[in-house]
Structure 1
Amino acid sequence: MSEITDEDRERVKLLHLITTSKNEFKNLSLDQLKRLQELVEKKDYSHDKKAHKSKVKLLGKINVRIYELTEGRGIWG
């Protein structure tokens, strides 16, 4: 069994912040979002098709929120 790393702990902590809130990503700062994006991208879920699909979906949501914070509220909002 693989050892739990500090990065694993940090990733779980950030994921916990977005899953325990109705506003999901709105509670995270830009730096936290970028760090979460980096940590999720590093994690390999190729052995589990469902987990990999969830990872891709989550990365899409993170990218949207980063775009909203850097470029303004969004195209339609």
Structure 2
Amino acid sequence: NWMLEPALATGEELPELTLLTTLLESPGDKTQPPEEETLSQAPESEEEQKKKALERSMYVLSELVETEKMYVDDLGQIVE
């Protein structure tokens, strides 16, 4: 993920990754896609923008993991 590269390059721990890993490993949990912003909202703080970006990244990654799990299941059925 391009947003995580600077922190990884410096060797810093990323607590968001621990949270993300925990969320992705929870079986059966369906993450809802983030709601789209409306034009009438006030400008967001940098922290709110980072939070929304993290939520979007978590959603995309959870969808990717779910797709990969389905792929592995399907491949297993083909091999049998």
Which structure is larger by alpha-carbon Rg, 1 or 2? 2
Asked if these proteins are the same fold (TM beyond 0.5), I'd say no
TM-score class, shorter-chain normalisation, is 0.3 to 0.5
Q: TM-score, normalised by structure 1?
A: 0.37
Q: TM-score, normalised by structure 2?
A: 0.36
Larger proportion of helix: 1
